[in-house]
């Protein structure tokens, strides 16, 4: 398995896009920290990167890469390798490359400038978010044979999680303003990886007090060690479930 | 060696394979022929496990290939259109396949040298012509001394010289007692190679005969003519 | 010449009155403080040597000067009020006063002043008592340079650091108050000054101010208190040069202004508070030349407020500069610096040519629907805010600074 992963990583590195992505992330991150006079503003800029750019690049590149690797996958399938292995290696290779790109681009400046606790939290969550969107890309690209359609689905999913979901939440908030919906909000947030990530980082940035009662509930739920574990578990489920679905389909797919 | 038992495959509404039965044995060189879209490639892909039949069973050396993948280490496959990762060089592709297959025995590098691949190892796959890609595919198919060779339109796109080399190689392998499955449109090419012929149409095997039997029946010396004659007689 | 004679007479007066100094300690005739007080006359000095004195409740009912040398310890055994002052003209200086009793009925304190005038409490360490220094029905007292430390965990279990009740003309200067319920507590206290104190990590308020008119507090530091500072049911208060810092929590404020009028908030620094100023029922307040930096909310104005003037303040890095729950508010914003201002200044007079609206749409949404804060920092919200900035439609019209400054004021 590790051999295939190695080939995939080498192949991705040759693609240069990942290198450009790393450099861009680093440029953003370093300038965010050096242009702002206090590190918390830089941290917030990075938060936006983690919540918008990282998911977008991860999901788009992965979708395109999988479609472009159709031949490679075909070649591998005709060889004496388990299908599971091929798909998992592909996922591992992409995840590793992107997580490393993220750690190099954003992780280093974070650890240089930001509070270590926040840095740890943000790099961990950024890495998991990367994997979440790679997993979602796997699912959307296996669902359709048509490349254009697959990319369209991926972009739509990104739009949904990055934008539309929050709009829906806001709409619900207004519709149900008279009811005690705080607990429902906690549940709702857990159904979007981006929101889960955002709130986890915000809790770490000590703005939970700003969030009032809802924030307090969040802090109760996700502020404790157990809650933190649950939150990370939820995020990991966002990685595992889409990927396992795609794996199941891949196992029975005709190439 | 390979037993295909009543396999069927549908792509949506299209019935690509319809209860196909076939038996292929050691030392045979079988030509799989038929019009476009008759299910030849699907049949081959089914044997390789790339396409999963809806129904029926394929046995490789007596064992079902379902849920199995190790049997593929005994198959050399040359696809119709060799598609490889664009960013890799020829050398890397060969290296990777070697790496993946973890072949224990010796390598068969005859074609590798005949096609002068060592001089092109650093060329990227994306820069190669169709013919060169076919050469790479051919080299990979023969490299691991497999018991079974599955060649999908092997000579299409190759220059005459290379095609001739490949044919000689196929004959040599046949004599070593390997099972060889070839699909082709160009019946004229197959004359010296094959020992049996399988004719498919609309997902079904129309006939499966040895060359000798075919020639006897039709009284024709050339395979192409013999087949045309049979087909005509059937239509009538 | 007259002056010299006057001074000479001044020097001789003590001799004439035969004021005495009573020594108390291991090596002296009096081993116990109570014995000393029993024999002392008005005007005498009692000098207590270093040592440990556990004598129950000590009552000073004479006008004496009660001094400790090398910080003698007076211990209340967690049963008694340690030191009760029931006479005018008393000075208490240089003691460590610890372990008062705990009772919610009569509120025992480390030092408690009953109905007295001109009492000075200076340079004491008031340690681990129920109330620290307690002053009631008194006038012209000076509480200076004391350190008051307590270890309260819950509001109900601990009293206030400096507790002043129905008094007048007090001076609370340079004290350091930590770990009490309220750091400094004023109720019905008038014409008093709170100056250069530090009030840190108290469970409820750093300064709690009620029904106390005509007071001033300046140059104090209020940091990391449970709920910040509360100024309530009061008028004519001057708040100057104070620092309100890191009062962070669900219901924490730099200053909570509640039912207060005619007051002046000048040149204070509000740093990293959840809400720097929360005003509810505040009228005619001038807020001038303050720094609001890194707060969750700079200024939260309830609809019940009237006539607040915000002039020449710096707003830097706050989550929300201003928020409100109403629309009909007659408040003015004039010539402040807002770091979120994105306008321009063509004539280079330092004043932005486009008015600034400090009230963001999201802050209005959050005010009416607090759970919406959950969407803080989401892309959706930034989009909403940007569109509202370009086409204001939902935010109240009168929240507007017509002369926003281009550069922050040097404060």
Q: Which of helix, strand or coil describes residue B54?
A: coil
pLDDT on residue C72? 95
Which of C249, C369, C380 has its CB closest to that of A174? C369
Each residue of A105-115: b (16+ CB within 10 Å) or e?
bbbbbbbebbb
Relative to beta strand C162-168, strand C58-60 is unpaired
Give residue-wise pLDDT tens across range A137-166.
999 999 988 999 999 999 999 999 988 998
- What is the reported pLDDT for A107? 93
Chain A residues with beta carbon closer than 8 angstroms to that of B126: none
Cα dihedral C57, C59, C64, C67, rounded to 10, equals 10
Percent of chain B scoring above 90 in pLDDT: 8
The tokens describing C152, both together, are 């309260």
Give the mutation candidate from A160, A189, A193, A211 for the C interface (greatest C CB count, under 10 A). Answer: A211
In this prediction, residue A132 carries a pLDDT of: 96
A84: chain B residues, CB-CB within 8 Å? none
Q: How far apart are CA C197 and CA C311, in angstroms?
A: 27
pLDDT band (50, 70, 90) for residue C118 = very high
The structural domains of chain C, ordered by start, are 20-335+344-354 (2.160.20.10)
The CA distance from B100 to the nearest CA of chain A, in Å, is: 7
| Partner residue opposite B72 with nearest CB, options A70, A72, A78 | A78
Nearest CB to A173 within list C319, C371, C383 = C371
Asked if A84 is an interface residue toward chain B (Cβ–Cβ < 8 A), one would say: no
pLDDT digit string, tens, across residues B19-60: 889 888 888 889 888 888 888 888 988 998 888 888 888 999
Span between the terminal Cα atoms of chain A, in Å? 21
Q: For chain C, what's the residue count?
A: 411
Contact B186, B154 (CB under 8 A): no
Check if the beta carbon of residue C93 is closer than 8 Å to that of residue C67: yes
Q: Tell me, what's the pLDDT at B62? A: 86
**Are the C-beta atoms of C151 and C78 separated by less than 8 Å?**
no
Nearest CA in chain C to A218: C374
The residue in chain C having the minimum alpha-carbon distance to the alpha carbon of residue A160 is C380
Answer whether B236 touches A (CB < 8 Å): no
Q: How confident is the model at residue A69 (pLDDT cuts 50, 70, 90)?
A: confident
Closest chain B residue to A7, measured at CA: B96
Yes or no, beta carbons of B45 and A72 under 8 Å apart: no
Residues of B in contact with A249 (CB under 8 A): none
Dihedrals phi, psi of B170, to nearest 5 degrees: -60, -45
Over the stretch C359-379, which tens digit does the pLDDT of each residue have?
A: 888 888 888 887 788 788 888
Q: Is the four-CA dihedral A59, A64, A65, A71 of positive or negative sign?
A: positive
pLDDT of residue C378: 84
Domains of chain B (ranges; CATH) run: 2-235 (3.40.50.300)
Task: Band the pLDDT of C293: cuts 50, 70, 90.
Answer: very high
Weakest-pLDDT range from A22-26, B177-181, C66-70: B177-181
Q: Which of B66, B69, B79 to mutate to test the interface with A (most CBs of A within 10 A)?
A: B69
Pick from A44, A163, A214: CB nearest C379: A163
Which residue is associated with the tokens 């030509």? B31
Of the candidates C168, C203, C208, which has an alpha carbon nearest to the alpha carbon of residue C184? C208
Check if the beta carbon of residue C259 is closer than 8 Å to that of residue C232: yes
Q: What is the ipTM of this complex?
A: 0.82
Share of chain C above pLDDT 90, in %: 64
Is any Cβ of chain A less than 8 angstroms from the Cβ of B11? yes
Instruction: Give residues 111 to 170 of A whose Cβ lies within 8 Å of C.
Output: 162-163, 166-167, 169-170
Q: For residue A85, give how far its alpha carbon lies from the nearest alpha carbon of chain C (Å).
A: 37
* SS3 per-residue string spanning chain A: CHHHHHHHHHHHHHCCHHHHHHHHHHHHHHHHHHHCCCHHHHHHHHHHHHHHHHHHHHHHHHHHHHHHCHHHHHHHHCCCCCHHHHHHHHHHHHHHHHHHHHHHHHHHHHHHHCCHHHHHHHHHHHHHHHHHHHHHHHHHHHHCCCHHHHHHHHHHHHHHHHHHHHHHHHHHHHHCCCCCCHHHHHHHHHCCHHHHHHHHHHHHCCCHHHHHHHHHHHHHHHHCHHHHHHHHHHHHHHHHHHHHHHHHHHHCCCC
What would the two tokens of residue A165 be? 């979901």
Residues of A whose CB is below 8 A from C252: 209
Is the pLDDT at A182 greater than 80? The verdict is no
**B80 in contact with chain A, both atoms CB, cutoff 8 A:** no
Does A51 touch chain C if contact means CB atoms closer than 8 Å?
A: yes
Dig out the tokens for A213 from the structure: 């009662």
Any idea what the Cα angle at residue A206 is, between residues A205 and A208, rounded to 5°? Answer: 115
CB-based contacts of C53: which residues, under 8 Å, 6+ apart?
A: C32, C33, C72, C73, C74, C75
Each domain of chain A, given as residue ranges in start order, spans 2-251
Cβ pair B71:A80 closer than 8 A:
yes
Q: Do B50 and A74 touch (CB under 8 A)?
A: yes
Residue A242 has pLDDT above 90, yes or no: yes
Coil vs helix vs strand at C307: strand
Question: Is it the case that residue C274 has pLDDT exceeding 70?
Answer: yes
> CB of A22 within 8 Å of any CB in chain B?
no
Which positions 90-119 of B are in contact with A (Cβ < 8 Å)? 92, 96-97, 99-101
Test B85 with A11 for CB contact under 8 angstroms.
yes
Q: Which of A75, A94, A144 would you mutate first to test chain B, the one with the most B CBs within 10 A? A: A75
Give the mutation candidate from A13, A73, A78, A254 for the B interface (greatest B CB count, under 10 A). Answer: A78
- For A39, which residue in chain C has the nearest alpha carbon? C317
Q: Say yes or no to pLDDT of A213 above 70.
A: no
Residues of C in contact with A213 (CB under 8 A): 250, 370-371
Please give, rounded to a whole number of angstroms, the shortest distance from the CA of A93 to a CA of chain B: 15
CA of C350 vs chain A CAs: smallest distance (Å): 22
8 Å CB contact of C376 and A214: no
**Among candidates A3, A74, A80 on the partner chain, residue whose Cβ is nearest the Cβ of B72:** A80
- CA nearest A203 in C: which residue? C374
Q: C65 - beta bridge partners?
A: C45, C91
Range name among A209-223, B76-90, C140-154, C178-192 with the lowest pLDDT average: A209-223
CB contact under 8 A, A195 and C378: yes
Contact present, A and C (at least 3 Cβ pairs less than 8 Å): yes
C-alpha distance from residue C42 to each of B161, C38, C55, C84, C195 (Å): 129, 11, 22, 16, 31
Provide CB contacts within 8 A for A78, sequence distance 6+. Answer: B48, B50, B72, B75, B77, B79
Question: In chain B, which residues have their Cβ closer than 8 Å to the Cβ of A252?
Answer: 52
Contact (CB<8Å) A202/C249: no
CA atoms of A4 and A14, how far apart (whole Å): 15
* Residues of C with Cβ-Cβ distance to A222 under 8 angstroms: none
- pLDDT band at residue C16 under the 50/70/90 scheme: low
Q: Do B50 and A11 touch (CB under 8 A)?
A: no
- Determine the average pLDDT of the residues in A125-148: 94
Predicted confidence at residue B79, as pLDDT, reads 87
Report the alpha-carbon distance of residue B235 to residue A151 in Å, rounded: 48
Taking an 8 Å cut-off on Cβ atoms, the answer to whether A210 and C294 are in contact is no
How would you class A160 by CB atoms within 10 Å of its CB: exposed for 0-12, middle for 13-18, buried for 19 or more? middle
- Which is nearest to C173 in space by CA: C146, C195, C140, C200? C195
CB pairs under 8 A between A and C: 84
Residue of chain A nearest C252, judged by CA positions:
A209
Are B and C close enough to touch, i.e. 3+ CB pairs under 8 angstroms?
A: no
Question: CB distance B97–A4 less than 8 Å?
Answer: no
Contacts of B79 in chain A (CB under 8 A): 74, 78
Residues from chain B contacting residue A1 (CB–CB below 8 Å): none
Residues 6+ apart with CB under 8 A from A23: A105
Higher pLDDT, C121 or A72: C121
Secondary structure (3-state) at C177: strand
pLDDT at B69 exceeding the cut of 90: no
User: pLDDT over 70 for what percent of chain B?
Assistant: 99
pLDDT at A105: 93
Touching subunits for chain C (3+ Cβ pairs under 8 A): A
Taking the complete model, does pTM exceed 0.80, yes or no? Answer: no
Contacts of C376 in chain A (CB under 8 A): 202, 207, 210-211
CB contact under 8 A, A71 and B73: no
């Amino acid at each position: 398995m590790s051999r295939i992963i190695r080939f995939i990583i080498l192949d991705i590195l040759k693609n240069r896009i990942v290198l450009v992505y790393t450099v861009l992330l680093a440029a953003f991150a370093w300038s965010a920290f050096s242009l702002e006079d206090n590190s918390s503003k830089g941290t917030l800029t990075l938060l936006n990167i983690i919540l918008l750019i990282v998911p977008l690049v991860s999901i788009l590149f992965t979708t395109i890469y999988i479609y472009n690797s159709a031949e490679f996958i075909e070649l591998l399938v005709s060889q004496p390798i388990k299908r599971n292995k091929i798909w998992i290696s592909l996922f591992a290779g992409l995840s590793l490359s992107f997580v490393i790109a993220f750690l190099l681009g954003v992780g280093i400046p974070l650890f240089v400038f930001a509070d270590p606790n926040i840095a740890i939290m943000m790099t961990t969550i950024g890495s998991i978010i990367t994997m979440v969107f790679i997993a979602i890309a796997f699912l959307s690209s296996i669902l359709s044979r048509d490349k254009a359609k697959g990319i369209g689905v991926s972009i739509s999913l990104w739009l949904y999680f990055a934008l539309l979901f929050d709009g829906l939440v806001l709409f619900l908030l207004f519709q149900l303003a008279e009811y005690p919906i705080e607990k429902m909000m906690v549940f709702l947030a857990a159904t979007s990886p981006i929101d889960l990530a955002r709130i986890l980082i915000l809790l770490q940035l000590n703005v939970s007090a700003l969030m009032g009662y809802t924030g307090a509930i969040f802090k109760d739920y996700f502020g404790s060690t157990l809650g933190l574990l649950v939150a990370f578990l939820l995020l990991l489920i966002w990685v595992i479930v889409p990927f396992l679905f795609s794996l199941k389909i891949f196992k029975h797919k005709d190439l | 060696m390979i037993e295909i038992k009543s396999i069927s495959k549908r792509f949506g509404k299209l019935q690509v394979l319809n209860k196909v039965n076939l038996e292929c044995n050691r030392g045979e060189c079988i030509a799989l022929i038929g019009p476009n879209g008759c299910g030849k490639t699907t049949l081959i892909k089914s044997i390789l496990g790339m396409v999963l039949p809806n129904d029926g069973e394929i046995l490789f050396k007596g064992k079902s290939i379902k849920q199995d993948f190790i049997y593929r280490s005994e198959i050399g496959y040359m696809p119709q259109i060799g598609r490889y990762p664009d960013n890799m060089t020829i050398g890397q592709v060969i290296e990777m396949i070697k790496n993946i297959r973890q072949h224990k025995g010796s390598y068969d590098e005859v074609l590798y040298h005949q096609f002068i691949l060592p001089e092109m190892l650093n060329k990227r796959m994306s820069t190669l012509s169709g013919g060169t890609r076919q050469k790479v595919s051919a080299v990979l198919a023969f490299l691991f001394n497999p018991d079974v060779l599955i060649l999908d339109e092997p000579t299409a796109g190759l220059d005459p010289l290379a095609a001739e080399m490949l044919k000689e190689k196929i004959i040599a392998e046949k004599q070593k007692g390997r099972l060889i499955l070839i699909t082709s449109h160009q019946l004229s090419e197959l004359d010296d190679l094959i020992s049996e012929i399988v004719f498919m149409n609309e997902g079904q095997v129309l006939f499966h005969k040895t060359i000798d039997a075919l020639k006897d029946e039709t009284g024709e010396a050339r395979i192409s003519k013999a087949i045309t004659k049979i087909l005509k007689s059937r239509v009538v | 010449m007259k002056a010299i004679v006057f001074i000479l007479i001044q020097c001789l007066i003590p001799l004439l009155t035969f004021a005495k100094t009573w020594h108390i300690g291991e090596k002296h005739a009096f081993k116990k403080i109570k014995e000393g007080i029993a024999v002392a006359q008005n005007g005498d000095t009692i000098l207590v040597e270093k040592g440990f004195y556990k004598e129950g409740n000590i009552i000073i009912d004479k006008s004496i000067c009660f001094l400790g040398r090398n910080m003698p310890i007076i211990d209340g055994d967690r049963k008694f009020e340690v030191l009760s002052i029931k006479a005018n003209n008393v000075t208490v200086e240089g003691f460590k006063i610890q372990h008062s009793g705990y009772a919610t009925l009569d509120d025992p304190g480390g030092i408690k002043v009953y109905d007295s005038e001109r009492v000075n409490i200076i340079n004491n360490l008031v340690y681990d008592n129920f109330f620290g220094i307690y002053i009631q029905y008194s006038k012209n007292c000076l509480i200076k340079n004391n350190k008051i430390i307590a270890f309260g965990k819950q509001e109900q279990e601990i009293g206030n650091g400096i507790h002043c009740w129905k008094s007048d003309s007090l001076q609370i200067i340079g004290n350091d108050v930590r770990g009490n319920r309220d750091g400094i507590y004023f109720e019905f206290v008038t014409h008093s000054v709170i100056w250069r104190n530090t009030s840190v990590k108290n469970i409820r308020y750093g300064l709690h101010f009620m029904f106390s008119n005509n007071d001033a507090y300046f140059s104090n530091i209020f940091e990391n208190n449970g709920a910040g500072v509360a100024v309530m049911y009061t008028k004519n208060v001057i708040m100057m040069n104070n620092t309100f810092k890191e009062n962070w929590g669900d219901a924490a404020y730099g200053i909570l202004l509640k039912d207060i009028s005619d007051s002046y908030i000048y040149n204070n620094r509000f740093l990293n508070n959840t809400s720097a100023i929360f005003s509810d029922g505040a009228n005619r307040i001038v807020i001038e030349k303050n720094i609001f930096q890194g707060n969750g909310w700079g200024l939260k104005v309830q609809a019940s407020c009237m006539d607040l003037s915000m002039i020449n303040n710096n707003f830097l890095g706050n989550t929300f500069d201003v928020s409100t729950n109403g629309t009909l508010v007659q408040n003015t914003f004039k010539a402040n610096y807002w770091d979120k201002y994105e306008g321009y200044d063509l004539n280079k007079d330092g004043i932005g040519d486009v008015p600034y609206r400090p009230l963001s749409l999201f802050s209005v949404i959050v005010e009416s629907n607090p759970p919406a804060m959950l969407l803080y920092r989401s892309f959706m919200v930034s989009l909403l805010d940007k569109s509202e900035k370009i086409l204001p439609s939902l935010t109240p019209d009168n929240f507007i600074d017509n002369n926003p400054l281009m550069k922050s004021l040097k404060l």
